[in-house]
Amino acid sequence: MAIVSVIFGQTMIMFLIMLIGFLCFRVGLIDENGSQQISNVVIYISNPALLLNSFIGKLKSSQLMDGLDILVLLVIMMLVTIVIAKLLFRKPSQMLVRFALIFANLGFIGLPLSKAVLGTGSVFYMSIFVGVSNFSLWTYGIYMISGDRRTIQLKKLVVNPAILALVFGLLFAFTGVQLPHVLGTAVSDLANMNLPLVMIAMGCYLAEGDIRNALKSRDLYEAVGARLIIAPLIVMIMLKAVPNNLMLVKEVILLGQATPVAALMAIFSKTFKKNYLFSTTVVGLTTLCSLVTIPIFMGVAQWFWKL
């Protein structure tokens, strides 16, 4: 159960940093524009730097084979989750609840938490999860919220920072090329900024949401339950069939699926004039509650998979 204590300690650190972001927003040190700008720094700079930094010269042949396994598992998992979301939440008004069940906050939360809890070697596997999720988000995900197939633009995937970082990272890993010391240090330092920036942004999202009114909505509890309980439970059961010699792969997938709802839920909702305040509250509240549910699921999984 050592992993549970590690996750608990890491989530407490995340909570404290998120609390700082929450307070900064409430006292006016950061406003809505500032929280969006912090998110942009994460999306376009620190997050890709974390991906890139984790690949350079560190990919083993065994990891490549495991990577193929995880890709197949993730595609199956995504399809199963989409089907279950449609079966459980059929009403048009529950579209955002379906979105919450399907899409996790892998780039913001999954990557930095995976590195902190499971080690740098796990970031390769989590990055594949990020790639599958980003592809799904910018195709099916954006269509879910917009309701317009014309919003699906594959060119946005080509220039997606996480996808570009993954491609260049794999090139560096396969070729064994190392960055010059100064450039490599800069990339490493930017990667280390990722977790603090992410949690400050999440704290701002929580402060920005209309929590008081949202707490009166049944949809809020359905969205939180769908993301933090149903989604990881589905994956934990599915991964029971995967051999335990792939334990790191299993832990990465479950850890990623146990993360809060994707922050793009709020961004897409604002862009397409859906319930933005509700989406922002769901993002913030699932982030807060995940600090409790992630250690619980990882601990239960250690017992369940060894039965």
From first to last of its 307 residues, what are the pLDDT tens digits of the chain? 556 676 777 777 878 888 899 999 999 999 988 888 888 888 788 878 877 876 665 556 666 677 778 888 899 999 999 999 999 998 888 999 999 999 998 877 888 888 888 887 788 888 888 878 878 887 888 888 888 777 767 677 777 787 788 788 778 777 777 788 898 899 889 988 887 887 888 788 778 776 777 677 788 899 999 999 999 999 999 999 999 888 888 999 999 999 999 877 877 887 777 877 788 788 888 888 888 899 899 989 989 998 7
Strand partners, 261: 104
Q: The tokens of 95 are what?
A: 């579209």
Provide the pLDDT for residue 86: 93
Q: The tokens of 115 are what?
A: 């590195």
The candidate with the shortest Cα–Cα distance to 117, out of 307, 302, 265, 306, is: 302
Residue 55's CATH number: 1.20.1530
Please name the amino acid found at residue 76.
I
3-class secondary-structure state, position 60: coil
Residue 286: inside a domain:
yes
Residue 26: inside a domain:
no
Residue 261: inside a domain:
yes
Q: Phi and psi (nearest 5°) for 215?
A: -65, -15
DSSP label of 209: S
The candidate with the shortest Cα–Cα distance to 139, out of 128, 152, 130, 149, is: 152
Domain holding 104, by residue range, is 2-19+34-304
Residue 86: inside a domain:
yes
Provide the pLDDT for residue 26: 93
Distance CA 226, CA 132 (A): 20
**Chain position carrying tokens 């396969």:** 174
How far the first Cα of the chain sits from its last, in Å, is 15
Number of domains in the chain: 1
Residue 255: inside a domain:
yes
